């Protein structure tokens, strides 16, 4: 988000980064090792690779040297420098080189790229237009064979998941693969051949196609207003903030939450996910949702939603209703099939199996019951609980008691 307006880029790589940090004399004996029988013990006088604290120690040093510079990003021994013009970039490079020289750090000149209009950094490609995945990493994913073991599937999901911010409804696309991996881990099954089916193969190829057609994520413009669009389905939640995507699969417990709570949860997780961009934002943040009752989320009385509101109180936002067809991006992030809003309003007639009044008798209804006009349309999902054969009386009562919208 800090690269907005950048036109010139450079990347630096430190030479044998860890070895540039000396080990205190009193701690050198703790690093002693024997290379083999008949050899003496050796001690490291410079920080070696492999120590548990080595990455954190090196990152802390680099943050102390360059972390205060707004035009620099550092991850271990990889440094990214970005500027708005060549003249500004030259001055930025002088500042960085002076700080590294003063700290006694050296760079590997053969691995550096200076004054570039496009660079690759940490698996992403940066240019003046925005950020996109490294084509080399994408090529590896596209050529990945169908996994036949749990470790192979875990490796694929780990690499593909690194680019989940670029893939719409990633959580829903990969849900069956994660479920298979969880099942194999729980049952300690290494070979996937007996459990790998057509559904998993389709999901794997779908992820590959989505990654092959990845979009360019533009840098945010903080001089303009942000619009956050959220949606929730039966299996996942989704959100889009300008060019940024977010999706997350729901747990079995979350899937049985009332619609109102799932939609509120989508807003809560989206604000949490995009907090680095939205916190302290001085404009009004407009959150669009296709669930109209969510407009009154800030007056909710359910304990669960109130807990989320405490966390969301750090943001200045308002929720506006947006029909599902208009909220197509966030809706696609949370489901595969979009609802059809044309024609007769959804739910104008509800086939009721049975309706029970708490403490009263069961009333069997075989025909369709016309719902009052004021309840038709977008308000209906928050007011009606559809009852199917899978519901027992105890389950229905429990759902009614837990739902603040329909409870009596």
Distances (CA, A) of 183 to 176, 179, 196, 206: 10, 6, 12, 21
Domains of the chain with bracketed CATH: 8-128 (3.30.70.270), 135-212 (no CATH), 227-334 (3.30.420.10), 349-402 (no CATH)
Which tokens belong to 202? Answer: 């389709």
| Residues lower than pLDDT 70 in the chain | 1-2, 186-190, 214-248, 260, 276-301, 315-408
Q: Residues 49, 20: contact at Cβ < 8 Å? A: no
Beta strands in 109-208 (DSSP E): 113-116, 118-121, 124-127, 131-133
**What pLDDT is attached to residue 49?**
82
> Going by DSSP bridges, is the β-strand pair 285-289/227-232 parallel, antiparallel, or unpaired?
parallel
Judge contact between 331 and 231, C-beta under 8 A.
Answer: yes
Distance CA 291, CA 204 (A): 32
Q: What is the pLDDT of residue 359?
A: 33
What pLDDT is attached to residue 9? 92
pLDDT in tens, 2-21: 677 788 899 998 888 788 88
Instruction: State the pLDDT at residue 11.
Output: 92
pLDDT tens string 82-128:
998 999 999 999 999 999 999 888 888 888 889 988 888 888 888 88
> Both ends of the chain: CA-CA distance in Å?
48
Per-residue pLDDT tens over the stretch 225-246: 666 666 666 666 666 665 455 6
């Amino acid at each position: 988000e800090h690269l907005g307006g950048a036109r010139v880029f450079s990347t630096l790589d430190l030479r044998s980064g860890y070895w540039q940090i000396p080990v205190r004399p009193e701690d050198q004996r703790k690093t002693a090792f024997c290379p083999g029988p008949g050899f003496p013990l050796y001690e490291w006088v410079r920080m070696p690779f492999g120590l548990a604290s080595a990455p954190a120690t090196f990152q802390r040093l680099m943050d102390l040297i360059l972390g205060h510079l707004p035009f620099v990003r550092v991850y271990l021994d990889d440094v990214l420098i970005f500027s708005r013009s060549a003249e500004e970039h030259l001055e930025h490079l002088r500042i960085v080189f002076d700080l590294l020289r003063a700290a006694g750090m050296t760079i590997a000149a053969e691995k550096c790229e200076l004054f570039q209009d496009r660079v690759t950094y940490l698996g992403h490609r940066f240019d003046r237009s925005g950020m996109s995945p490294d084509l080399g990493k994408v090529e590896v994913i596209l050529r990945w064979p169908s996994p036949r073991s749990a470790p192979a599937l875990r490796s694929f999901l780990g690499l593909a998941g690194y680019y989940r911010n670029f893939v719409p409804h990633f959580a829903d696309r990969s849900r069956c693969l994660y479920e298979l991996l969880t099942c194999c881990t729980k049952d300690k099954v290494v070979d996937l051949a007996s459990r790998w089916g057509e559904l998993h193969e389709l999901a794997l190829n779908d992820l590959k196609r989505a990654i092959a057609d990845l979009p360019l994520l533009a840098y945010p413009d903080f001089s303009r207003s942000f619009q956050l669009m959220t949606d929730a389905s039966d299996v996942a939640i989704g959100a889009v903030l300008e060019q940024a995507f977010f999706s997350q699969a729901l747990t079995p417990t979350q899937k049985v939450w009332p619609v109102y709570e799932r939609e509120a949860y989508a807003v809560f997780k989206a604000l949490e996910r995009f907090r680095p961009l939205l916190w302290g934002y001085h404009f009004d943040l407009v959150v669009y949702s296709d669930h109209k009752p969510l407009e009154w989320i800030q007056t909710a009385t359910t304990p669960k939603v109130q807990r989320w509101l405490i966390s969301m109180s750090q943001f200045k936002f308002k929720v506006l209703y947006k029909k599902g067809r208009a909220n197509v991006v966030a809706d696609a992030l949370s489901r595969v099939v979009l609802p059809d809003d044309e024609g007769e309003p959804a739910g104008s007639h509800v086939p009721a199996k049975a309706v029970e009044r708490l403490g009263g008798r069961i009333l069997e209804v075989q025909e369709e019951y016309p719902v009052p006009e004021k309840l038709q349309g977008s308000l209906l999902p928050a007011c009606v609980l559809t009852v199917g054969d899978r519901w027992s009386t105890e389950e229905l009562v429990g759902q009614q008691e837990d739902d603040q919208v329909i409870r009596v």
